[in-house]
Structure formats: C-alpha cells, structure tokens
Amino acid sequence: MIGFVAQNFELNRILLLIVGLWPLQQSNLTRLQFIFMSAFMTADIIFIMKDLLIQLQDVCNELKDKNEIAIMKEYGYIASCYTTAFTIATVCGLFGYILMIFWPDIMHIILPNVTQSHQLPFKMEYFIDQEKYFYWIALYVVVATCIGMTSMIGIGSILIMYLQCTCGMFRISRYRIRCAVHINMLENIKSRKDILILEGIISAINIHQQAMKLSKLLTSEIETMMCCLIVLGVISLSLNLFQVSRVVSYGYDIKELLIPFAFIAIGILYMFISNYVTQNVTDHNNDIFATVYDVQWHVTPLHIQKVILFLLQRGTKDFTLSVCGLFVGSLECFTMLMKTSFSYFTVIYSTQE
C-alpha cells in the first residue's frame, strides 16, 4: 500500500496545499500560506462587521428624541446582558475544562498516595510522547480552546447586539406612529396638523425601512457561514447523541460523557438563541402593524387614513430572516432542526445495531 495516500488523496492534497493545511508536507512556505489565508479570512469578517456597525451607528446618530435614544439604550443593555451571560458561562465552562485536564495533579496534592495517569478529556493523537510532554500539550489545548471560545462569543454577541438594535429601530417606528396620530388630538390648525402627522408617519416608515434593510444586509453577508454552521450543528448534535448512547450502552464512564454532553448543550443553545433572536426581529416587525391597528387612525383626516391603509397592507406579508432560502429564523425552525438532529441520530444508531 505504498503511496496509497499520494494516489487516492491527490485532489485533497492540492486543495489543502493551496491554503497551507496539508499535514504531510509542512514547510515555511505552507506555514506562510496558512498565516496569509487565516489573516485574509479574519480581515474579511472584520470588514463585514465594520461596515454593518458603521451603518448602525449612522442610524443612531440621527436620533434626536430623548425617548428614541432611551429605547436604543434599552436594547443595547439587553444585548450587553446576553454578552455578560455568555461570558460567564464560557468562563465557568473553561474552568471546568481546565479542572478536568489537571484533575490527577489536584488529586495527588490532596491525596499524595493516590496516583492517576494524565488523560485529555478527548482522544487526540500526537507524534510525540504524550506522557512526557503532557503539560505542553495541555497548555496548547487550553489556549486553543480559549481562543476559539473567545472568538465565538465575541462574534456571536456582536451579531446579537446588532439584531437587538434593529429591534430597537422597529420599536422606534411604533413610537413615531403613535406620536404622529396623537398630534391629531393636540394640534388645532388643520394645515399644520396634517403636515406634522405626515412627517411623523414618513419618519416612522423611514426607520422601519432602515431596520429591514440592516437586518437583511446582515443575513446576506453571513448567510454562507450560517448555512455551514447550521449543517455542522445538526451533524455535531447527532454524532454526540450517538456517542452518548455508545458510552451508556458499552460501559458508563462519567468522564467520557462530559465532553459529548458539553457539545450537545452548546449545539442546542446555539440553535435556540440564533432562532430566538431572529424570531424576535419578526415579532417586532409585526408589532408595528399591530400598533397601526391600535391607534385611533379613524379620527385622522381621510388622506392620512389612506397613507395608513398602505401601512396595513404592508403588514399582510411577513418579514423574516432566512439563510440561503432554506432556513427561516424562527422558533419553528429550531424545532425542525432538533427533530432533524434526533432523526439522524436514530438512523445512525439503528445502522450500528
């Protein structure tokens, strides 16, 4: 079987050599390629996020009403609570992860007569003596995990904050509609009253359109990444459920269950939060048209009522955020992904019986 890899993995080798990831041929050139490609992909993500945040900042800079500013601050606070909760959960998880790796050393300190062999929480193969270089390997694993989790929480929290701010813009639109119709009861001069009502409705429509535009812009920029994450999430959840079933069936070991359970919890949480946040955007959009129904639009002048009628007609079409036209962000989509994951797990489990 000499040359088996070279013969059967030629195309894979070429593709991975392009980005410097082919493991059997590492040189200074391939390392330089890997650094360049990583920097390029990171820069692409940074530029996308920078563009989105600049547009959001421009919208916020246009806000002058103190109540509208308070609304945006409220939604910014909600987003910061998400970030804080994710950070605390991540720190606790990493602490438990580190504790698991160095548990034999802790036990040896507590009980000097008890000696346990070092073992990583998951099986990994290195081309060095793992016992001799265990602490270096453990340091590498911990640092890589910290970097990965920090990046995931950082990027994910920014996306959540961005969508929360668009929800704030939808709520500001509702506020402007209420204020515009309320002018009808306060202003006595008819011509001035009509102008103020129209200006209020126009400003509400403008920020509503901006909120929809920014939400769609976000999904269009990251839909390829999100599609890949959804597919990987479903596969990961199915395989980890299968791993748990194997451990339980062939010998119960709490250490072997911890990592699969952690991945299952992270996968379910990631799917739920992403769908919940996008469902929240849809609900805020629907609340605008519920507000149009609730206000006393029937007491406004006839030409104002016609403008409001166009708003009501726009509400007959749902505003949703979708990924590649396949996954529509909603709690219903979360349920569908859970069912799909368990279905794949059932198929895998039945074929292994």
List, in sequence order, the alpha helices (H) in 187-300. Answer: 190-250, 254-294
Q: Encode pLDDT of 62-80 as tens digits.
A: 888 899 999 999 998 898 8
pLDDT beyond 90 at 339? yes
**Region for 322 from its dihedrals, namely left if φ exceeds 0, alpha if ψ lies in -120 to 50, beta otherwise:** beta
Q: Encode pLDDT of 224-268 as tens digits.
A: 888 888 888 899 899 889 888 888 877 666 667 778 888 898 889
Burial class (CB in 10 A: 0-12, 13-18, 19+), 66: exposed
Question: Is 295:177 a contact under the CB 8 Å cutoff?
Answer: yes
What's the average model confidence in pLDDT over 285-302?
80
Q: Is the model more confident about 126 or about 296?
A: 296
CA angle 343, 347, 353 (to 5 degrees): 140
What share of the chain in percent tops pLDDT 70?
76
Q: Which of 22, 287, 332, 261 has its CA nearest to residue 175?
A: 287
pLDDT of res. 11: 55
Q: Is the model more confident about 11 or about 269?
A: 269
Q: Encode pLDDT of 104-145 as tens digits.
A: 777 767 767 766 666 666 665 555 566 677 777 778 778 878
Q: Encode pLDDT of 17-42 as tens digits.
A: 655 555 555 565 556 655 665 655 56
Q: How do 322-323 and 327-328 pair as beta strands?
A: antiparallel
Q: With bands split at pLDDT 50, 70 and 90, how would you rate the model's confidence at 169? A: very high
**Cβ partners under 8 Å of residue 69, min gap 6:** 63
CA 119 – CA 87 distance, rounded (Å): 27
Q: Is the model more confident about 185 or about 70?
A: 70
Q: State the chain's mean pLDDT as an integer.
A: 79
What's the average model confidence in pLDDT over 166-173?
93
pLDDT of res. 190: 62
For the ranges 12-26, 146-160, 339-353, which has the lowest average pLDDT? Answer: 12-26
pLDDT beyond 50 at 151? yes
pLDDT beyond 60 at 182? yes
pLDDT beyond 70 at 185? no
The crossing angle, in degrees rounded to 10, of helices 66-101 and 254-294 is 170
CA distances to 244, 260, 349 from 345, rounded to whole Å, are: 11, 13, 6
Question: Which residue is listed with tokens 């036990």?
Answer: 107
pLDDT beyond 70 at 287? yes
**Region for 251 from its dihedrals, namely left if φ exceeds 0, alpha if ψ lies in -120 to 50, beta otherwise:** left
For the ranges 92-101, 129-138, 197-206, which has the lowest average pLDDT? Answer: 129-138
pLDDT of res. 1: 43
What's the average model confidence in pLDDT over 308-316?
74
Q: With bands split at pLDDT 50, 70 and 90, how would you rate the model's confidence at 175? A: very high
pLDDT of res. 198: 83
Which three-class secondary structure state does DSSP give residue 324? coil
CA 312 – CA 291 distance, rounded (Å): 10
Q: Which of 254, 297, 286 has its CA nearest to residue 121?
A: 254
pLDDT beyond 70 at 160? yes
Q: Is the model more confident about 284 or about 224?
A: 284
User: pTM to 2 decimals?
Assistant: 0.81
pLDDT beyond 80 at 14? no
